[in-house]
Chains A and B, each alone.
Chain A
Amino acid sequence: MKRRQAALVVRIAVLAALVILLEISCRTGTIDPLTVIPPSDMVAAMIHEIGSGELNASIKATFSTILLAFVLAIGLGVATGALIHRLPRLCDVADPLLASYYSVPTFIFYPLLVALLGLGKAPLVVLGVLSATPAVMIGTLSGLDGVAPVLMKLARVHRLTPARTFCWIVLPAALPHPFTGFKLALSYALIGVIAGEFILSGTGLGYAISFAYQSFDNPTMYGVMLFVLLVAVIANGVLYVWEGRLARRRSRG
């Protein structure tokens, strides 16, 4: 525990040092304020932008899209992952495809998605789902592979129905693995949606950043960027803590 705390202190110190270095560089003019504004100004800009309420609609649009994409990705990923796992032949076909999926920039299909689905929420959700689902599938597959055969025998000895076997044995036994997939899926959904808004959408935080960028409005751009970053870190942190709680029970030696 001591060692973990020490690592935490050093980690925070390194991050703080980098932020302070950036602040000093901007204040002394080493970095042109037209390129990067000082971090303290970014925080002030963020508080101003969020506080003004002008972004409320964008915040709602973006995060509801991300949440929808994330939830769909989990549902779809777990379901298809479980299905593929049941069918070994399908698994043989799908395995290399899944493994190489992330070498394909899903993003380049965005124009096609817009052409097919129009300029609303739909192409963004699809983009988020496309980026996030395979991570969940991979996590689900490795989780199901990791369920000890003896536990499946146990389920039969206790005459559990398939549904109960899944809820009481398979799911809890497999859970740590899909969780890694869930965390990645959240990041991928966020990246997919915000980047989608950035290039071709007329709403959302991605669009707000892009708009500020094109109008040389640095404080707004950095303020919104910082906000997105904070939300992403917090959301991932929540999943991380939750995962840690699940894992700790199993490893407390």
Chain B
Amino acid sequence: MNAQSQLSLSEVVRRFDGPPAVQALGPVNLEIRRGEFFSIVGPSGCGKSTLLDLVAGLARPTSGSVRFEGEELHGQVPDGIGVVFQEDASMPWLSVRQNVGFGLRTSGLPKKEVADRVDHAIRFMGLAQFADHYPAQLSGGMRQRVCIARTLVLRPRLILLDEPFGALDQQTRLLMGDELLRLWRETGASVLLITHALDEAAMLSDRVGVMSARPGRFIDMVETGWPRDRDSRVVSDARFGSLTGRLWSSLRDESLKAMGRVA
């Protein structure tokens, strides 16, 4: 493991006891550098979300090890990792401000500090006008911003996102992608994004890992070579098309396998 590596997975396997026993993942090896934007694409059911659960400490690997900043995870959620889920995880009984502050309820920080951090996260995600609204009054995209803001107040050094924009329409997704890039640049955190959208992965990431059909393993690693201050306008760059094409050619056979067809 080199000094730059923030997250490292070595020979990670996850098996679900049956019947029938299923090997969902692995063996997987992965190093994510500090400050890197890394995306994982793969056919549906390939174990992407299982991988995220392992990194978030929500599940233990059957074998192999997951290390975050050099510490091995033992099925506990580590400090410094923030998670944004695919489903809407906003709490409908709390206002936007209370939702965002939820992350700090157990922090023991002084009130002033909590209020400052919450205000900052709300402003950062463009939610200032909606601070006293309830989630039911917001659109899906706004609710996902609330969830991201709730993660931000904890000042994570690694942010995990599990298909966070899966439920949003295409335009909102592009704009949320820009927000995510800005957040990544300004916080300096590393990002591990799981997505099924190849264009999203090609546009946002420094590096994209392509996973095989179950049991999920990495079958390709693609460096995008984008500058750090990129935004969604890279979709009109010629390289964007060739990147997306490369991802799809790696993935096509695997997707067919996942659908039960022979490639």
Seen from chain A, the residues whose Cβ lies within 8 Å of a Cβ on chain B are 148-151, 153-154, 156-160, 164, 168-169, 172-173, 175, 246, 249-253
- In the complex, are the beta carbons of B87 and A148 less than 8 A apart? yes
Q: CB of B136 within 8 A of chain A?
A: yes
Q: Chain A contacts of B103 at CB under 8 A?
A: 158
Question: With contacts A151-B89, A250-B92, A250-B93 known, is A158 near B102, CB below 8 A?
Answer: yes
CA distance A53 to B119 in the complex (A): 58
Which B residues are in CB contact (< 8 Å) with A158?
77, 102-103, 105-106
Cross-chain contact B105 with A154 (CB below 8 angstroms)? no
A246 to B106, CA, bound (A): 25
Judging by beta carbons under 8 Å apart, are A249 and B87 in contact? Answer: no
The CA of A167 and the CA of B105, in the complex, are separated in Å by 13
Complex interface residues of chain B between 91 and 141 (CB less than 8 A to chain A): 91-94, 102-103, 105-106, 134, 136-137
- Contact-residue size bin, chain B (C-beta under 8 Å from the other chain): 20 to 34
Indicate if the CB atoms of B136 and A159 lie closer than 8 Å. Answer: no
Query: Nearest Cβ in chain A — how far from B81, in angstroms?
Result: 8
Select B77's contact among A149, A150, A157, A253, beta carbons within 8 Å: A157
Query: Does chain A have a CB within 8 A of B83?
Result: yes
Say yes or no: A160-B106 contact (C-beta < 8 A), given A252-B134, A253-B137.
Answer: yes
Q: Which residues of B contact A249 (CB under 8 A)?
A: 92-93, 134, 136
In Å, the complex CA distance between A253 and B92 comes to 12
- Are B83 and A157 interface neighbours, CB within 8 A? yes
Give the shortest distance, in Å, between A249 (CB) and chain B (any CB).
5
Q: Is the interface of B mostly helix, strand, loop or mixed?
A: loop
Chain B residues in 8 Å Cβ range of A148:
87, 89
Q: Contact: A253 with B85, CB < 8 Å?
A: no
Given that A249-B93, A251-B136 are known contacts, is A157 also in contact with B106, CB under 8 Å in the complex?
no
The DSSP consensus for interface residues of chain A is helix
A149 and B88 alpha carbons, distance in the complex (Å): 11
Contact A150 B89 (CB under 8 A): yes
B136 lies within 8 A of A252 (CB): yes
**Which A residues touch B91, using CB under 8 A?**
151, 169, 172-173
Please tell me if the beta carbons of A156 and B58 are within 8 angstroms of each other in the complex: yes
For the complex, is B56 an interface residue (Cβ under 8 Å from A)?
A: yes
Provide 11 A-B residue pairs closer than 8 Å at the C-beta atoms, listed in order of the A residue: A150-B89, A153-B83, A158-B103, A159-B106, A173-B93, A175-B93, A249-B92, A249-B136, A250-B93, A250-B134, A252-B137
Is there an interface contact between B89 and A253, defined as CB atoms closer than 8 Å?
no
Known: A154-B89, A249-B93. 8 other contacts (CB 8 A): A148-B87, A148-B89, A153-B83, A157-B77, A159-B76, A164-B106, A173-B92, A252-B136
Contacts of B86 in A (CB 8 A): 150
Residues of B within 8 A of A159 (CB): 76-77, 106
| Known contacts A150-B87, A172-B93, A249-B93, A157 near B56 by CB under 8 Å | yes
- On whether the beta carbons of B77 and A156 are closer than 8 Å, the reply is yes
What is the CB-to-nearest-CB distance from A169 to chain B, in angstroms, rounded to a whole number?
8
Chain B residue at minimal CB-CB distance from A250: B92
In whole angstroms, how far apart are the Cα atoms of A154 and B56 in the complex?
A: 11
